[in-house]
Amino acid sequence: MRELTQIRQEIDEIDDKLVKLFSQRMKCSAEVAENKRGTGKAIYDPEREKQKIEVLTKGEENPFMKKATEEIFLQLMSISRRYQYSILSREDHYIQKNFVEVDHLDINEDTKVVYQGIPGAYQEEAMVKYFGEDVKNFSVPEFKDVVKTLDAGEADYGVLPIENTSAGTVSGIYDMILDYDICIVGEETVECHHVLAGLPDSSLDQIKKVYSHHQGLLQCKKFLDQWDWDQVKVANTAISAKKVADDKDPSKAAICSKRAAKLYGLKILQREVNYEGNNTTRFVIMSKKKQYRTDARKVSISFSAPHEVGSLYNILMHFMFNDVNMCNIESRPLPGRQWEYGFYIDVIGNLNDPAIRNALAGIREETKDFKILGNF
Ligand SMILES: C=C(O[C@@H]1C=C(C(=O)O)C=C[C@H]1O)C(=O)O
């Protein structure tokens, strides 16, 4: 048996050759990029990569080595592609064509904002926090109506809830944003301290039925589990407060904000019924104008990944390679494509940053249904 130092000496010599060969291969890759610039051919050529793997692994009998060779060459080709994106993305005008960079959002005395629900809704609170008390605004009954209103150009901005610290993603909002040509231009958070509110002459022991938005019921699950009340979902927490006030039935209560309880003349039967102390909802500010602020710090994208081993891993490598930090990932079932998923990802950065442009250029080419949802 050879001495360890002797074996390591051979490994060092092999690695030395590998590094030189790798560098030589990457120079070829850069030349391919120049060639593709001239011909307009896509950087990613999956057919060529498939053929290469077949040829390179054909003679290998050992299953471990066959898999290992495949893995190392897939990785090599992925690095080679990223190198080409870094060369060509400087000339990629996708972002300039689709988005306008602005110093600040256009918000003035004529700006009109739409939110879902009725006065007293948390959406209204988010709107006031973002745009100020005096902003012109109106509300619509359903989340979908916010998106439709923006699309029809009947409002400048719209407010939609996107996720909550205790109940997670607000289902369906991402899908709605995708269905329309609108983008996220801002975000706002509101601490949701829910109360249980009833008629002024009601008390906790009289309650039989409780109304709230689905999220409100979820966020107060631990409190509600202690009681044998019927739970009824309505479109909005403020609507639940209005319903209890309108029905004038002391056995009914609402889970809503303190603000909504006060607005509809209800008595607070119990405070802080949400189980997480700092229960917070994140809202997005939507606009039909495709714009991003120079100081925006979060980019949101969506895409669908091919149903193949390692496909999401390869896509996420674009972020790692460009030193881009990911802060959120969500997956949603793709309509009509059973067990296939679309992904929504938030990363830290601005669309004017070369690293972000590089990463997005690669992801755009290697995924389906790619969309930049916004930079905010
Ligand atoms: C280098 C090329 O670009 C990409 C990278 C490949 C590689 O590194 O071998 C192969 C195919 C392409 O996806 C090429 O098209 O030949």
Could you tell me the CATH number of the domain that includes residue 235? 3.40.190.10
Looking at residue 86, which CATH number applies to its domain?
1.20.59.10
pLDDT at residue 304, as a whole number: 93
Residue whose Cα lies nearest atom 7 of ligand 1: it is: 77
Q: Is the CB of 145 under 6 A from ligand 1?
A: no
Residue 179 inside a domain? The answer is yes
* Catalytic hit among 149, 237, 281, 367: 281
Indicate if 373 and 335 belong to the same structural domain.
Answer: yes
Contact between 242 and 299 under an 8 Å Cβ cutoff? The reply is no
> What is the C-alpha to C-alpha distance for residues 202 and 199, in angstroms, rounded to an integer?
5
Q: Supply the CATH number for residue 359's domain.
A: 3.30.70.260
Q: Are residue 157 and residue 206 in the same domain, yes or no?
A: no
What's residue 299's pLDDT?
98
Number of separate domains in the chain: 4
Regarding whether 245 and 288 lie in a shared domain, the answer is no
Query: Same domain for 117 and 82?
Result: no
pLDDT at 365: 92
Point out the residues of the chain with pLDDT beneath 70. Answer: none
pLDDT at 367: 94
- Tell me: do 200 and 337 sit in the same domain: no
- The response to whether residue 80 sits with its C-beta less than 6 Å from ligand 1 reads yes
Q: Residue 376: exposed, middle, or buried by beta-carbon count in 10 A (0-12, 13-18, 19+)?
A: buried
User: What's the pLDDT at 337?
Assistant: 81
> In terms of domains, do 147 and 249 share one?
no
Q: How far is CA 276 from CA 222, 252, 335, in A?
A: 10, 24, 33
Q: Is 273 helix (H, G, I), strand (E, B) or coil?
A: coil
39 Cα–ligand 1 center, Å: 15
Q: Which of 283, 303, 343, 376 is catalytic?
A: 283
Do 279 and 166 meet the contact criterion of CB atoms below 8 Å apart?
Answer: yes
Task: Tell me which of 61, 91, 121 is where a domain ends.
Answer: 91
**Which residues pair with residue 282 across a beta bridge?**
163, 189
CA of 47 to the centre of ligand 1 (A): 10
**Do 312 and 199 sit in the same domain of this protein?**
no
Alpha carbon distance 244, 255 (integer Å): 10
Is 138 a domain residue? Answer: yes
Ligand 1: centre distance to CA 36 (Å): 11
- Residue 8 belongs to some domain of the structure: no
Same domain membership, residue 361 and residue 349:
yes
Q: Is residue 146 part of a domain?
A: yes
Share of the chain above pLDDT 70, in %: 100
2, part of any domain: no
Does residue 131 share a domain with residue 33?
Answer: no
User: Looking at residue 2, what is its pLDDT?
Assistant: 96
Q: Which atom of ligand 1 is nearest to the CA of 36?
A: 15
Nearest CA to ligand 1 atom 16: 32
Residue 148 domain flag? yes
Instruction: Check residue 347 and give its pLDDT.
Output: 98
Ligand 1 neighbour 104 (Cβ under 6 A): no
Residue 196, helix vs strand vs coil: strand
In sequence order, the 6+-apart residues with CB closer than 8 A to the CB of 46 are none
Q: Is residue 361 part of a domain?
A: yes
Domain extent, residue 218, equals 195-270
Bridge partners of 270, per DSSP, are 196
Domain stops at, among 91, 111, 145: 91
Show which of 91, 111, 127 is a domain's final residue. 91
Q: Which residue intervals of the chain are DSSP H helices? A: 4-39, 46-57, 63-88, 94-98, 122-131, 143-151, 173-179, 214-219, 221-224, 237-247, 258-263, 311-321, 354-366
Q: Is the CB of 89 under 6 A from ligand 1?
A: no
Token duo for residue 60: 């290998």
Ligand 1 pocket, residue 78 CB under 6 Å: no
Domain identity same for 63 and 125:
no
| Residues 289 and 301 occupy one common structural domain | no
173 and 289 inside one domain: yes
Single-letter amino acid code for the residue at 338:
Q
> What distance in Å separates the CA atoms of residue 181 and residue 98, rounded to the nearest whole number?
11
Taking only the tens place, the pLDDT of each residue in 281-292 is 999 999 999 999
For residue 5, being part of any structural domain is answered with no
Quote the CA–CA distance of 318 and 161 in Å, as a whole number: 29
Which pLDDT value is given to residue 165?
87
Q: What pLDDT is recorded for position 311?
A: 87
User: What is the torsion angle, in degrees rounded to the nearest 10, for the CA atoms of residue 138, residue 142, residue 147 and residue 148?
Assistant: -90
